[in-house]
Amino acid sequence: MKRIGSIAVGGRQLLLDQGTYKKGEIAIQLATVDDCGFPEPWGVLTTNIPGVHLDRDEILVKTWGENEQIRSPLIASGFFEDTGRRIPTGYVMAEVWKLQGTASC
């Protein structure tokens, strides 16, 4: 995993850690820091939908459920740009974002 940055949400720091899915697609996990300063898993930013083509610097983002509250701070962070593309997955739509700046593949 590669740490690409962090954002503040509701008084809590969320760490953004980049890795890959099985076939090489970019995966981003979210973690908080506990009282002793150790990372603690918080959630997953990305989703992987087989058969969906993405550019090397694009990710499929889960912006529903617990991730709704962090969408705006993530876009405002400058690490990501919303491409405007949406991919249906069940009853929701995954957003296609492009990695920016220090976040890269």
Closest CA to 103 of 84, 75, 67: 75
Confidence tier at 26 by pLDDT (50, 70, 90):
very high
Q: Is the pLDDT of residue 101 over 90?
A: no
| Diameter of the chain measured on Cα atoms | 42
DSSP the chain: -EEEEEEEETTEEEEEEEEE-TTS-EEEEEEEE-TTS-EEEEEESB---TT----TTEEEE--SGGGGGGHHHHHHTTSEEEEEEEEEETTEEEEEEEE-TT---
The two tokens of residue 40 are 């603690």
Residue 34 confidence (pLDDT): 84
Average pLDDT, the chain: 90
pLDDT in tens, 5-16: 889 888 888 999
pLDDT in tens, 80-90: 999 999 999 98
pLDDT in tens, 32-67: 988 888 889 999 999 999 899 999 999 999 999 989
